[in-house]
Chains A and B, each alone.
Chain A
Amino acid sequence: MKDEMLQARESLFKYKKIYDHIGSEQLFLNAVKESVSYHQLNNSIYQKILDSKGFTIEDIKDIKDIDKIPSIPVDFYKTHELMSISPDEIEVHATSSGTLGQKSQVFLSKRDITLGTKMMMKSMWYHRFISLIPTNYLLLGYEPKKGNDMGNVKVLLGMTKLAPAKEVVFAIRPLGDEYQIDYFGIIKALKRFAKQPFPVRIFGFPGYLYMLLSTMKSMDIPPLGLNKKSIVFTGGGWKKMNNIAVTKEKLHALIEEMLGIPAINCRDFYSAVEHSVAYPECKHHHMHVPIWSRVIIRDIKTLENVGFNEPGFLSFVSPLVSGMPITAVTMGDLAILKDGSTCGCGITTPYFEILGRAGTCHRKSCAVTASELMEGGQHGAFI
């Protein structure tokens, strides 16, 4: 079966109200069942996984049953290449940023990319991030070069399509074999942008932005008054800079102080190469779940669904991708799910908050950690 034939998925992605879980519930359910059946048919490893858990598609009767779909821990994609399409149908082969050294391999079909792009545009349109005003971009990520196929780079480049790009500056540039943060290049670019009447959009890891702004401050560089319509998009978490992580409020205050961009224009988003649905923050800084996915928080011991207000593993169910079986995945992140009606931004679907990664808190041990072991003592730029 060609993935264009996934009609239930097509119907879901045609649905217009992107945060209407109730109205789209049946469409979502049909699409998820279709997705699971599709991967079962096209991927023998996935079939084995479902069999080993005794799962059949008949187990899903209504929306409450989606937590029964065997959820694959994303580390599995780091050691196995799982394709549900033939190699010549792969449109994009992306890899995760690999905080712990290994990278997930993700395969997307042409249709996955088309639907994913539409989904992204709908989301960006909803949050009013699409603009016709020429914009300068500062991307706090890796400048693309040959052989660099990290998903992060592709996401960053995609973001420059949301408003016409006047100039695009990358923060991390190749210097010989190594990537390095080009502090002086960034600061020069920001000063240049501040003199122009155009908005600026800054995208990247929050840690980089925090380091950059703290460095500017400690170098006594005077605050820059960027255009008020400028936007800061952060994503990807603090990664190895967790030891200097500050609260969202503190980061926003620093952004406003040093760049003049108001907190309402500072939005974090969650995305993972193993999931493909992006979660931008609403104006109240909450990551609501759109119609294309559902979030299930799983108990830290039993992996059972714990519902709202309890910490656990973040797991997603989404029928978006046909290139590989990532319909139900569990992330290494710990998170908590909240009732969206308490937010007040107008969106009522649930939202989640990231609490950190499982096992990054080895304060009590002097044994080598997994990340140290995998890196083997190599310390280049943060990846």
Chain B
Amino acid sequence: MEHLFRGKAIQDHELHPYLSTLKESINTDLLLEPLDSSLVIHAIVHLLDQLDYDHLKDQLLAMGLFDWKADDLITTIRTAMTKEALETKITRELGTDFNRWTVIDDTIKERRQPLGVLMHIGAGNVIALSVLSVLEGCLSGNINILKLPSYEGGISLMLLKELVRIEPRLAPYIYVFDISSTDIETIRTLSEVADAIIVWGSDEAITGIRQITPPTIQLIEWGHRLSFAYFTLGDHYQHELEGLAKEICISNQLNCSSPQTVFLETTDIETVKSFSKELLDTLIRVAQDYEIGELDIPIQGEITWTKENVKTEAILGQHYLYESADQRICVMIDLKPELRTSPKYRNIWVIPIQRTELLPLLREHKGHLQTVGLECNDDERDSLTQLLFTSGINRVTTCEQMSLTYVGEPHDGKPTLAQYTRKVSMRK
């Protein structure tokens, strides 16, 4: 196993001797001049310019991604990481006082500056997520310690090594450790030097980190989230089904922003059934452009398991199941209004709901909520959106754009880079 210590590649047997110097190394580097974000932006842009995309794509394909998905991911990274995009991100998320004094009055001034040292607990669910987290740490001027997730195929390490090669002045800001999540002792050693721990992952991962983190270290949690589509009745929904189907197929419902359920605002079962059939037809048509092949056994198992339960419930009339002839796409109806998670991969719930039921239902899941793809009449959009925000939702968008972000968009209701900084004040 390989690690990066102050930007330098080290081997597993060297880890412990190096770790014993971690505190000293970081204490020395904290005295360096503040890291200029334009230097970071320049290095990132340079990295993306000279990256061997064919090789990267091969790596993504080797990790099991389909051709169209690998292309899509590469395009997303390239558009999110231009000089202009990164500069806009900094301005939107950090404001204008990053590393600059703002005068409050004659005797007082304030400045936003890095937290200092960030420890990133990566998650392997989104490819290259760990490296993006470290880049955000660098953009906000912090020293970054990354604990790699156990199944991300070495992409983060490769990219960060390359970044340091391109811009050696970033070396003091980058540490990467390929250690197991069960190695609590090393995780503790790493976290002791951190001002904040950024944890990506499941409730379980977050709970684990909370348990071993002393109260003096700030925790920044980017946990699992749940999203859904919300349709009211009206002429609008016919063509929006296409957008919903695209979102379902492209994301495979794997993102925290992708829909697991469609709530349909009606009390009429026949309407729910015809909506579901229409959604199934649209999904079958759209999915032809986004082939996913055979699924892993546990994933296929969950899909079959969920459907089998729905089929059994259907005998009693509470559930309905509509599926494609090849059984790879399905729409499941549950007549009981409930927020549900689907088995993903083009299997989605449709659940009838009344607007008055929405807030109490969502409040049951506060803290897990994220995006709503809202399709409604124009005259009800504002009031519905407000209701969703009040209920704990952070993003309201169209179905087709549920997984699409814009530069500087808040993450789970917070500007990311601002989380990695603090405001200091000085009074003479």
B256 at interface by CB-CB < 8 Å? yes
Query: How many pairs, one residue from A and one from B, have CB atoms within 8 Å of each other in the complex?
Result: 128
Q: Answer whether A370 and B341 are a contact pair too, CB < 8 Å, given A73-B312, A243-B204.
A: yes
Interface string of B388-405 (1 = CB under 8 A from A): 000000000000000000
B377 at interface by CB-CB < 8 Å? no
Contact, CB under 8 Å: B254 / A367:
yes
B119 at interface by CB-CB < 8 Å? no
Alpha-carbon distance A377/B123, docked complex (angstroms): 19
Contact, CB under 8 Å: A313 / B316:
no
B82 at interface by CB-CB < 8 Å? no
Alpha-carbon distance A125/B204, docked complex (angstroms): 41
Alpha-carbon distance A362/B258, docked complex (angstroms): 15
Contact, CB under 8 Å: B343 / A369:
no
Contact, CB under 8 Å: A73 / B309:
yes
* B18-26, B190-198, B292-300, B350-358: which lies at the interface: B292-300
Q: Which residues on B sit within 8 Å (CB–CB) of A45?
A: 316
Q: Using a CB-CB cutoff of 8 Å, which residues 151-179 of chain B contact chain A?
A: 151
Q: Answer whether A367 and B253 are a contact pair too, CB < 8 Å, given A373-B339, A375-B203.
A: yes
Contact, CB under 8 Å: A373 / B256:
no
Indicate which residue in B124, B254, B255, B308 contacts A73 across the interface (CB closer than 8 Å). B308
B365 at interface by CB-CB < 8 Å? yes
B151, chain A: closest CB distance, angstroms: 6
A122, chain B: closest CB distance, angstroms: 33
Contact, CB under 8 Å: B365 / A367:
no
Contact, CB under 8 Å: B298 / A356:
yes
Indicate which residue in B182, B225, B300, B302 contacts A367 across the interface (CB closer than 8 Å). B225
A58, chain B: closest CB distance, angstroms: 21
Alpha-carbon distance A313/B304, docked complex (angstroms): 10
Contact, CB under 8 Å: A373 / B182:
no
B325 at interface by CB-CB < 8 Å? no
Alpha-carbon distance A49/B315, docked complex (angstroms): 7
Indicate which residue in B225, B226, B302, B309 contacts A76 across the interface (CB closer than 8 Å). B309
A78, chain B: closest CB distance, angstroms: 9
Contact, CB under 8 Å: A368 / B341:
yes
Q: Which residues on A sit within 8 Å (CB–CB) of B253?
A: 365, 367
B310, chain A: closest CB distance, angstroms: 10
Alpha-carbon distance A140/B111, docked complex (angstroms): 55
Q: How many B residues have CB within 8 A of the partner chain?
A: 49
A21, chain B: closest CB distance, angstroms: 27
Q: Which residues on B sit within 8 Å (CB–CB) of A379?
A: 203, 207
Alpha-carbon distance A79/B309, docked complex (angstroms): 10
Q: Which residues on A sit within 8 Å (CB–CB) of B226?
A: 367-368, 373
Q: Which residues on B sit within 8 Å (CB–CB) of A72?
A: 312
Q: Which residues on A sit within 8 Å (CB–CB) of B256?
A: 366-368
Contact, CB under 8 Å: A364 / B125:
yes
A300 at interface by CB-CB < 8 Å? yes
A361 at interface by CB-CB < 8 Å? yes
Contact, CB under 8 Å: A332 / B305:
yes
Q: Which residues on A sit within 8 Å (CB–CB) of B306?
A: 359
A146 at interface by CB-CB < 8 Å? no
Residue in chain A with minimal CB distance to B150: A363
Alpha-carbon distance A368/B125, docked complex (angstroms): 12
Residue in chain A with minimal CB distance to B301: A358
Q: Using a CB-CB cutoff of 8 Å, which residues 315-343 of chain B contact chain A?
A: 315-316, 327, 339-341, 343
Interface string of B345-378 (1 = CB under 8 A from A): 0000000000000000000110110000000000
Q: Which residues on B sit within 8 Å (CB–CB) of A330?
A: 308
B302, chain A: closest CB distance, angstroms: 3
A354, chain B: closest CB distance, angstroms: 12
Contact, CB under 8 Å: A376 / B364:
yes
Alpha-carbon distance A370/B344, docked complex (angstroms): 11
A301 at interface by CB-CB < 8 Å? yes
B276 at interface by CB-CB < 8 Å? no
B227 at interface by CB-CB < 8 Å? yes
Interface string of B195-226 (1 = CB under 8 A from A): 00000111110010000000000000000111
Contact, CB under 8 Å: A359 / B225:
no
A383, chain B: closest CB distance, angstroms: 14
Contact, CB under 8 Å: B315 / A363:
no
Alpha-carbon distance A269/B417, docked complex (angstroms): 51
A311 at interface by CB-CB < 8 Å? yes
Q: Which residues on B sit within 8 Å (CB–CB) of A52?
A: 315
B99 at interface by CB-CB < 8 Å? no
B1 at interface by CB-CB < 8 Å? no
Residue in chain B with minimal CB distance to A365: B254
A367, chain B: closest CB distance, angstroms: 5
A144, chain B: closest CB distance, angstroms: 27
B37 at interface by CB-CB < 8 Å? no
Contact, CB under 8 Å: A366 / B300:
no
Alpha-carbon distance A244/B208, docked complex (angstroms): 12
Alpha-carbon distance A373/B369, docked complex (angstroms): 10
Residue in chain B with minimal CB distance to A71: B308
Contact, CB under 8 Å: A376 / B125:
no
B181 at interface by CB-CB < 8 Å? yes
Alpha-carbon distance A303/B301, docked complex (angstroms): 10
Q: Using a CB-CB cutoff of 8 Å, which residues 100-116 of chain B contact chain A?
A: none
Contact, CB under 8 Å: B365 / A376:
yes
Indicate which residue in A49, A361, A366, A370 contacts B123 across the interface (CB closer than 8 Å). A366
B313 at interface by CB-CB < 8 Å? yes
A360 at interface by CB-CB < 8 Å? yes
Alpha-carbon distance A365/B124, docked complex (angstroms): 9
B142 at interface by CB-CB < 8 Å? no
Q: Answer whether A244 and B316 are a contact pair too, CB < 8 Å, given A358-B304, A360-B298.
A: no
Alpha-carbon distance A136/B78, docked complex (angstroms): 65
A75 at interface by CB-CB < 8 Å? yes
Contact, CB under 8 Å: A301 / B327:
yes
A182 at interface by CB-CB < 8 Å? no
A126, chain B: closest CB distance, angstroms: 33
Contact, CB under 8 Å: B313 / A303:
no
Contact, CB under 8 Å: B126 / A366:
yes
Q: Answer whether A373 and B304 are a contact pair too, CB < 8 Å, given A72-B312, A366-B254.
A: no
Alpha-carbon distance A73/B311, docked complex (angstroms): 10
B260 at interface by CB-CB < 8 Å? yes
Indicate which residue in A48, A355, A356, A365 contacts B344 across the interface (CB closer than 8 Å). A365
Q: Which residues on B sit within 8 Å (CB–CB) of A80?
A: 316
A372 at interface by CB-CB < 8 Å? yes
A228 at interface by CB-CB < 8 Å? no
Q: Which residues on A sit within 8 Å (CB–CB) of B258?
A: 367
A209 at interface by CB-CB < 8 Å? no
A76, chain B: closest CB distance, angstroms: 5
Interface string of B278-307 (1 = CB under 8 A from A): 000000000000000000111111101110
Alpha-carbon distance A76/B396, docked complex (angstroms): 35
Q: Which residues on A sit within 8 Å (CB–CB) of B300?
A: 300-301
Of the A-B pairs whose beta carbons lie under 8 Å apart in the complex, a sample of 14, sorted by A's number, is A49-B312, A79-B313, A300-B300, A313-B301, A334-B297, A356-B298, A358-B298, A359-B306, A362-B125, A365-B255, A366-B200, A372-B203, A373-B368, A376-B364
| 8 further contact pairs, Cβ within 8 A, besides A367-B226, A370-B341, A373-B226 | A72-B312, A243-B204, A301-B327, A364-B254, A366-B224, A366-B256, A368-B260, A372-B204
- Smallest CB-CB A-B distances: 3 pairs: A359-B302, A358-B301, A361-B298
